[in-house]
Amino acid sequence: MDTPEVTEAPLVPRIRTCDGCTACCEGWLTADVHGKYMYSGRMCHFKGPGHCTIYDQRPGLCVNFRCEWIDNNDIPEWLKPSLSKVIMYRRMVNDIGYINIVETGAKMDSTHLNWIILHALQNGLNIRYMVDSGWNFIGSPEFLAAMNQ
Ligand code: SF4
Ligand code: SF4
């Protein structure tokens, strides 16, 4: 499976708090955390039970990472990653913004998928979304061309 790389997100006010969720530390995304690699099948070396064991020394990558659920009040409560098993976060390709949507160990539920697709179509969003470990795309012609490069 192609594991999405974690990149630093722009700083915007947080809408919610993680409050028990550790989905972005569990190995569904790829990151180099102080020289220890996190990737599909390997959670972060520094993750303890339900918390980060180096919270005050965690790298900027972790400090600045926010998923869409944290930053965007339009995303419903039930799409919290620990509940929905889906992480949504912003990325760029060729200066085009899009939302990357990653399953966390289970095939995306059809209710979640339907809401995400309708939300993208109604708001003109570019999205790259995983269903049953395969990638799918919705968005502008420029975004689709960039993804097919
Ligand atoms: S996936 Fe989102 S809610 Fe969960 S720990 Fe990461 S930033 Fe917080
Ligand atoms: S260093 Fe801490 S916050 Fe960063 S991925 Fe690892 S467990 Fe999560």
DSSP H helices, 50-109, are 60-64, 68-71, 81-84
Find the ligand nearest to 23 CA: 1
Tens of pLDDT, residue by residue over 51-80, are 999 999 999 999 989 899 999 999 999 999
What residues are paired with 100 via a beta bridge? 89, 128
What residues are paired with 127 via a beta bridge? 99, 138
Distance, in Å, from the CA atom of 5 to the CA atom of 91, rounded to the nearest integer, reads 10
70 Cα to the center of ligand 1, angstroms: 7
10 lies in a domain?
Answer: no
Distance, in Å, from the CA atom of 18 to the CA atom of 148, rounded to the nearest integer, reads 34
Phi, psi (degrees; rounded to nearest 5) at 6:
-80, 130
DSSP H helices, 14-80, are 60-64, 68-71
pLDDT of residue 3: 56
Nearest CA to ligand 2 atom 8: 25
125 lies in a domain?
Answer: yes
16 lies in a domain?
Answer: no
61 lies in a domain?
Answer: yes
Nearest CA to ligand 2 atom 1: 58
pLDDT > 90: percent of the chain: 85
101 lies in a domain?
Answer: yes
143 Cα to the center of ligand 1, angstroms: 26
91 Cα to the center of ligand 1, angstroms: 16
128 lies in a domain?
Answer: yes
Nearest CA to ligand 1 atom 2: 67
119 lies in a domain?
Answer: yes
0.85 exceeded by the pTM?
A: yes
Longest pairwise C-alpha distance within the chain: 43
Tens of pLDDT, residue by residue over 36-53, are 999 988 999 999 999 999
Find the ligand nearest to 57 CA: 2
Q: Taking a C-beta distance cutoff of 8 angstroms, is the pair 76, 82 a contact? A: no
65 lies in a domain?
Answer: yes
The answer on pLDDT for 1 being more than 50 is: no
12 Cα to the center of ligand 2, angstroms: 20
Say which amino acid occupies 123: N
The answer on pLDDT for 119 being more than 60 is: yes
What is the count of structural domains for the chain?
1
Q: Taking a C-beta distance cutoff of 8 angstroms, is the pair 92, 98 a contact? A: yes
Show the domain range for 56.
23-147
